[in-house]
Structure 1
Amino acid sequence: MITEFRTSDAGMRLIGRLKAEGYITTHPSTEPNQNTVLIASLHAINQPNSPLGEGIDTRHLLCADVNGLLVCGVYMPQKTAKLPYWETLIAQARISGIDLLIGDFNTGNNDLDKDLKGSKFIGPEMPGRLIDSGYTDLWRSLHPGQREYSWYSCPGNNGFRLDYIFAAPELTRQAITCEFDHAPRLAGETDHSALVASLG
């Protein structure tokens, strides 16, 4: 799952490199200057008929069947614009049968998910409400009480955990590892750390 993907020349080069490695990709049709989500898989990708409803902008919530798993690539908009998308996931994701929600959720709680000096999140209750609907925050479930951040503000260098994998119960039971890979961010290839999970 690649968030903040753009259908620019750089984005098309990325797709080319993924295809050269055997990946199948899908993304919404967007303007080259719009951020969206790219799903890449070594298995077939089938896009269902809008399991979250027809009015959902797939730039922010892109669902696909990947090797029998219904996954949703998430790239939440900024500030209060993200709140309707959170409400949709909380109300619809479990009853729609989505197994994994993966991506940049652009919020967290105002305790462990941010530097103490960093700006407070808008909608800090949303991750907890999504968990109450039946999902598990895989990273947090394996790292209770730990602070680790996937993005840092500039200026300020305040850390925030913006990137998540939320799993339905049957997949949560299969979780072996869920770790941040900071190397691409530290190398300047991206401004977000990767989140990598292993499911049995």
Structure 2
Amino acid sequence: MALTFATWNINSIRVRSGLVKGWLDRNPDCTLLGLQEVKCEDGQFPEIFAQAGLHTALVGQKGYNGVAFISRRPLEITCRALPGFEDPAARYIEAELEGIRFGNLYLPNGNSGGEAGYATKLAFFAALRRRALAFLQAGQPFVFMGDFNVCPTDADCAPNALEAYDALKRPQTREAFRRLLWVGLTDAWRALHPDGRAYTFWDYQGASFARDSGLRIDLILLSPQLADRLVSVHIDRDERALERPSDHVPVSATLNWP
């Protein structure tokens, strides 16, 4: 059997609910979609998804942040915040589906708030690493997916797309990401596409999409049991060319599971 899931920073679900519904209609094999930056409070999530028979779960916040799931099957929500990360922002939701834990995350950008803001970014990475270690110790298959706000290597950032000391590519940021990977996780895209450039985000300014001056910051990380089952990964670049798009595009993965 195959299980397909996806992540997408939608940059306001109320503005772009039609884009999400259209994408789901065109991708009927996608069982679970994790959204970030939904930018709405609980109770404000658009009703069109429930009306279509889809299951939704939200950790919301007024005007900022916010993470959500849209699923074709019932979900068991296991966490509404990242354990061990002390911050009121709505940045993490976790669910179990088909025996897999899915952690849907919106990691802090780290460019605002000075060094305290950047420390919050590193603290999220550290808490996520501890969560991964807990799952690994328990033998629990899991996925972390979402907007990680990190360009893991220079190949994941178009030349001159970011300032030299931007928080998305500072050495400490990349080190924190590597520390997360090195517990035994696999970056799904790079597992199947080890070389070359492919982006998931293009800024609205400076004709970034037309110039293909993008970043790969929307990632899917797989635990060892799932990395062995990986079949394909797709970055849906075409979504960025639609009218009033998000500045991010969906990234999907398919596993042979169970």
TM-score of the pair, normalised by structure 1: 0.87
The question of whether the paired residues in 2 share the 8 Å contact of 1:151 and 1:192 is answered with yes
The question of whether the paired residues in 1 share the 8 Å contact of 2:80 and 2:92 is answered with no
The aligned counterpart of 2:196 is: 146
**Secondary structure of residue in 2 paired with 1:125:** helix
Q: Give the one of 125, 131, 154 matched to 1:92.
A: 131
Higher relative CO (Cα under 8 Å, sequence separation at least 6) belongs to 2
Q: Give the one of 167, 175, 185 matched to 1:125.
A: 175
The question of whether the paired residues in 2 share the 8 Å contact of 1:151 and 1:161 is answered with yes
Q: What is the percent sequence identity of the aligned residues?
A: 25
Higher helix share: 2
The question of whether the paired residues in 2 share the 8 Å contact of 1:108 and 1:126 is answered with no
Matched, 1:137 2:187: yes
The aligned counterpart of 2:40 is: 7
Q: Name structure 2 gaps, 5 residues minimum.
A: 1-33, 111-117
The aligned counterpart of 1:195 is: 251
Aligned residues: 196
The aligned counterpart of 2:98 is: 67
Q: Name structure 1 gaps, 5 residues minimum.
A: none
Q: Give the one of 63, 75, 90 matched to 1:45.
A: 75
How far apart are 1:153 and its partner, in Å? 2.6
Q: Evaluate the alpha carbon distance shift between residue 55 and residue 88 of structure 1 in structure 2; reply closer, same or farther with a 3 A threshold.
A: closer
The aligned counterpart of 2:55 is: 24
TM-score of the pair, normalised by structure 2: 0.69
Q: Deviations over 1:133-188 (max 9, x none)?
A: 11100011100012001111343423110100000011111111001001222113
Q: Evaluate the alpha carbon distance shift between residue 51 and residue 4 of structure 1 in structure 2; reply closer, same or farther with a 3 A threshold.
A: closer
The question of whether the paired residues in 2 share the 8 Å contact of 1:41 and 1:66 is answered with no
**Secondary structure of residue in 2 paired with 1:5:** coil
Question: Which structure has the larger Rg?
Answer: 2
Rounded Cα–Cα distance in structure 2 between residues aligned with 1:56 and 1:65: 23
How far apart are 1:106 and its partner, in Å? 0.7
C-alpha RMSD of the superposition: 2.3
Q: Once structures 1 and 2 are overlaid, which stretch shifts more, 119-128 or 169-178?
A: 119-128
Q: Evaluate the alpha carbon distance shift between residue 66 and residue 151 of structure 1 in structure 2; reply closer, same or farther with a 3 A threshold.
A: same
**Secondary structure of residue in 2 paired with 1:95:** helix
